[in-house]
Amino acid sequence: MKHGILDIIPRSFRKRSLWVALTIFIRALLNFVGLAMLVPVLVLILDTDAIHESSRLQWIYEVLGFTSDEWFVVAVCAAVVGVIVLKCLINLGLYTAERNFIYDLYRFLSRRLYIDYHNRGLSFIKSSNSSLLTRNVNVVCLTFVIGVLRPLASIASEIMLFLLLFVALACYNIVAALLVIAIFIPAAWLYITMVRQKLNNYGDIENKAQRAKMRSVIDTYRGYSDLEVCNAFPSMLRRFDESMNEVVSVRLKNATISTLPQMFTEIGLALGLVVMVLLNLGFEGSSIKILFGIFAIAALRLMPSVRSIMSAWASLRYNRYTIDIIRDAHIDDIDPSIDDTTERMRFEREIRIDNISFRFDDGEQDVISDLSLGIRKGERVGIRGRSGAGKTTLFNLMLGFFEPSNGAIYVDDEQLCPENRRRWLNIVGYVSQNVFLTDGTLLENIALGVPSEHIDRDRLDKAIDMADLREFIDSLPQGVDTPAGECGNRLSGGQRQRIGIARALYKEAEILFFDEATSSLDNDTEQNINNAIEQLSKHNKELTIIVIAHRESSLDCCDRILTLEANE
């Protein structure tokens, strides 16, 4: 297939996919057997004398020792029911195996993409659309397995059943078999011709509209205050409505298309039955009735089969856009490993920045150029400069989130690189202007990333006291188990900063980075935070503190101050 659906299945799933293909064939065969089992019942209903006219039925009759035709008919019916029940149970088991394969693959793809986007680093995340990444991880992977792979399996199974039925019917009566082909093949071809391009377009349109709708919702809740002050919610609502209208419009059109397979197959079946009636006019006898009955059974079973093929094909075309997204991700090339080591980098002397330069991939000039700096262990260093001077970029370089275009950063004599970044970050604490808080409790936010059952309560209490949070937490009815609210919306700016400090202290950080941590605070709160930083430094002489700030007052606690100049 030109879009390479099978090629993008991860290598670790390909051997298993062969077994799934085998289950699809077995299911088709079982469905054929179940249908074939109805033929003896049909024969006995239409012609009871066939028991003794058919050599096979007569042989079974005699071997099993029947003396009554009525009991023989009852036994045949019971056997048919038993076989069909067994067939259904086996089919259920095979379908369960197929379903497990589909959802295991979904779990694999979604997890790999999630890890990959994380491992690509801060630069990739900042240059990407978060709603797009979120949709790819949470929605596209599921849509691919449900809307593409599962329909593909359905198509394969139903085509196999169709071929088996056609061959069996051709062996019995070639005219009836050709009539089946004349009914269903043109109906399927007409349907595919009519809707193919529409389905391609509808899937792409809905994907784009869903992304735009998601972005509108995220922006609305994230920027609630600004939107309200600027009376911008009506504009956001218009954007939301436009995207929603596109989604609904496309879904309505697709719903209409989804009814066409049933209409086409029912009309074809009706025409086929009429043709059979006309062909049989003037003929008498049970053989004609049996032929008509067999054709009716085959056609009635093939009708949902052909309808299923058309519907599955429509789903595959509608969700075709997911194929390109999954294929472009190169799932097999993604390194699924994550560095979760708790080992800490040794830091005894200094952090040395050695002649580093940095330029963004799409930048025309260096943000930082030929910068050298040494920061001794236990020193308090301030970094100031106007907007655009590269202060935050320098922090991201020192944290290991960006890699220098030239030069290097050393911790003692060990060069900072992606391979040792996790060990480096294990001794680092980071407090930004907008401290990240999960929608969890204060406890979970201070001991961020630590499972609740592994939290060291003594260390937690010590961090709370040193961050001067004790009075605030004790005033809360639920204490540290108080929910912080989404993005910490229940907390003041100063409280958020102190939680950031407590988080760094809980992990026993040896270096604290403060990135404009007090720039959004009032003077009194800023002074309180500065006093807290001063006290931290006094209690731990080996604690290294690096502060970015615009305001001179925020750098009062620093031993020396570095001024960054913006590149012109």
Would you write out the chain's pLDDT as a tens digit for each of its 568 residues? 444 566 778 888 888 888 888 888 888 788 777 766 666 665 555 555 556 656 666 666 667 777 676 777 777 777 777 877 888 888 888 888 888 888 899 889 988 888 888 888 888 888 887 878 888 888 888 888 888 888 888 888 878 877 777 777 777 667 667 777 777 777 777 776 777 667 667 777 878 888 788 778 777 766 665 666 567 777 778 888 888 888 888 878 777 776 676 666 666 666 666 665 565 544 444 455 555 555 666 666 666 777 777 778 778 887 888 888 888 888 877 777 777 788 999 999 999 999 999 988 877 788 888 889 899 998 888 888 777 778 888 888 999 889 998 999 999 989 999 899 989 989 998 888 778 887 778 888 888 888 888 888 888 888 888 888 888 888 888 888 888 766 666 777 778 888 888 888 888 888 988 887 555 555 666 677 777 777 777 777 788 988 887 767 667 778 888 887 766 5
3-state secondary structure 393-448: HHHHHHHCCCCCCEEEEEECCEECCHHHHHHHHCCEEEEECCCCCCCCEHHHHHCC
Whether residues 272 and 375 fall in one domain: no
Tell me if 568 is assigned to some domain: no
Q: What would the two tokens of residue 203 be?
A: 């899937």
CATH number of domain containing 491: 3.40.50.300
Please give the distance of CA 532 from its chain centroid, rounded to a whole number.
43
Check whether residue 370 and residue 510 sit in a common domain.
yes
Are residue 141 and residue 239 in the same domain, yes or no? yes
Taking the C-alpha atoms of residue 68 and residue 469, their distance in angstroms, rounded to an integer, is 92
Question: Last residue of some domain: 303, 333, 363?
Answer: 333
Domain range for 159 is 6-333
Closest CA to 307 of 167, 153, 196, 191: 191
Looking at residue 289, its pLDDT comes to 53
Sheet order of strands, 406-411 included: 368-376, 350-358, 406-411, 414-415
The reply to whether 343 falls in a domain is no
The answer to whether the beta carbons of residues 415 and 485 sit under 8 Å apart is no
Assess whether 217 and 79 both reside in one domain.
Answer: yes
Asked if the structure places residue 344 within a domain, the reply is no
Specify if 240 maps to a domain: yes
* Contact yes or no for 558/525 (Cβ under 8 A): no
Total number of domains constituting the chain: 2
Beta pairing class for 560-563 and 380-384: parallel
The 8 Å CB, 24+ separation contacts for 287-291 are: 289/46, 289/47, 290/42, 290/43, 290/46, 290/47, 291/172, 291/173, 291/176
**Tokens representing 533?**
């930083």
Last residue of a domain, one of 299, 333, 367: 333
Q: Measured between alpha carbons, how far is 568 from 269 in angstroms, rounded to an integer?
A: 77
Do 114 and 240 fall into the same domain? yes
Q: Which of 274, 308, 333 finishes a domain?
A: 333
The residue written with tokens 């043709």 in the block is 275
Tell whether 342 is covered by a domain. Answer: no
Query: Is pTM, for the whole model, over 0.85?
Result: no
Q: What is the dihedral of CA 389, 359, 393, 557, to 10 degrees?
A: -50
pLDDT at 416: 92
Residue 338 lies in a domain: no
pLDDT at residue 18, as a whole number: 82
Q: Return the closest-CA partner of residue 17 out of 100, 124, 115.
A: 100
- How many other β-carbons are positioned within 10 Å of the β-carbon of residue 496? 26
Whether 216 and 273 map to the same domain: the answer is: yes
**Rounded to whole angstroms, how far apart are CA atoms 512 and 514?**
6
Same-domain status, 11 and 134 = yes
DSSP three-state, residue 512: strand
Q: Are residues 359 and 470 in the same domain?
A: yes
Whether residues 94 and 123 share a domain: the answer is yes
Alpha carbons 387 and 143: distance in angstroms, whole number: 43
Query: What single string gives the DSSP state of each residue in 51-89?
Result: HHHSHHHHHHHHHTT---HHHHHHHHHHHHHHHHHHHHH
Whether 273 and 389 map to the same domain: the answer is no
Q: Are residues 115 and 211 in the same domain?
A: yes
Distance CA 454, CA 28 (A): 52
Distances (CA, A) of 491 to 441, 466, 503, 521, 531: 12, 19, 15, 13, 20
Contact 562, 373 (CB under 8 A): yes
Question: Who's near 150: CB < 8 A, 6+ residues apart?
Answer: 102, 312
Distance CA(382)–CA(514), nearest Å, equals: 9
- CATH number for the domain spanning 71: value is 1.20.1560.10
Residue 536 lies in a domain: yes
Cβ 312 vs Cβ 155: under 8 Å: yes
- Examine the domain organization and report whether 357 and 244 are in the same domain: no
